[in-house]
Amino acid sequence: MTERHSDTLQYFVVPGAQAEEADGSPAKPFSSLSEALARLRQVQRQFLSTNGTAAFRRQFEIVFPGRDGRSVRPGRSARHQYYVDPRGGGPQGDGSELVPWPDFDTAFQQIEQRHETGKLKLTAGRRLRISERAVFTATRYERRRQLREFVAKYTFLAMALLLVVPVVAILGYLTVQAWPALTVEFLLENSDGNMTAGGIWAPLIGTFFLVLLSLLLAAPVGVLAGVYLNEYARDNWMTRIINLAVVNLAGVPSIVHGLFGVGAFVLFMKLNRSLLAASCTVAVMTLPVIITSTRESLAAVPMPFREACWNMGASKWQTIRTIVLPNSISGILTGVILQVARAAGETAPILFTGAMMWAHVADTGLEAWIPYGPGDKFMALSYHLFISATQIQGIPDSMQYGTAVVLVGLVLVVNSVSIGLRLYLRVRKKW
The C-alpha angle 76, 79, 84, rounded to 5 degrees, equals 100
Residue type, position 369, single letter:
W
* CATH pick for 182-427 out of 1.10.3720.10, 3.90.1150.10, 2.40.160.40, 3.30.565.10: 1.10.3720.10
H or E element at residue 132: strand 126-132
DSSP per-residue letters across 387-402: HHHHT-SS--HHHHHH
Q: Are 191 and 198 in contact (CB under 8 A)?
A: yes
Secondary structure E strands in 13-113: 59-64, 80-84
Backbone phi and psi for residue 324, each to the nearest 5 degrees, phi listed first: -70, -55
Torsion-angle region of residue 330: left (phi > 0), alpha (psi -120 to 50) or beta?
alpha
Distance CA 108, CA 37 (A): 6
Q: What is the pLDDT along the chain (431 residues), one digit of tens a residue?
A: 444 445 678 888 888 777 677 888 888 888 888 888 888 888 877 766 665 554 455 788 888 886 555 555 554 556 788 888 877 656 677 888 778 888 888 888 888 888 888 888 877 778 888 888 776 667 777 788 889 999 999 999 999 999 899 989 999 999 999 998 888 888 888 888 777 888 889 899 999 899 899 999 999 999 999 999 998 888 888 889 988 888 888 888 889 999 999 999 999 999 999 999 999 999 999 899 899 989 988 988 888 888 888 888 888 889 998 888 888 888 888 788 878 878 888 888 898 898 888 888 888 888 889 999 898 999 999 898 888 888 888 888 888 899 999 998 888 887 787 778 777 777 766 65
> How many other C-beta atoms can be found within 10 angstroms of the C-beta atom of residue 81?
15
The residues with which 2 forms a beta bridge, in sequence order, are 10
Q: In the chain, where are the structural domains located?
A: 2-137, 182-427
Do the Cβ atoms of 354 and 382 come closer than 8 Å? no
pLDDT, position 114: 86
Cβ–Cβ < 8 Å for 47, 56: yes
* Residue 146: half-sphere exposure toward Cβ, Cα within 13 Å: 7
Q: Report phi then psi at 12, rounded to 5.
A: -110, 140
- Say if residues 368 and 362 touch (Cβ distance below 8 Å): yes
Residues in contact with 137: Cβ distance below 8 Å, sequence separation at least 6, in sequence order:
none
Question: Among 12, 9, 18, which residue's Cα sits nearest to residue 46?
Answer: 9
Q: What is the DSSP letter of 76?
A: P
Neighbouring C-beta atoms of residue 261, cutoff 10 Å: 29
Pairing of strands 80-84, 126-132: parallel
The residue among 130, 140, 136, 137 whose CA lies nearest residue 103 is 130
Determine the Cα–Cα distance for residues 12 and 29; give it in Å rounded to an integer. 5
Nearest-10 crossing angle of helices 33-51, 104-117: 170
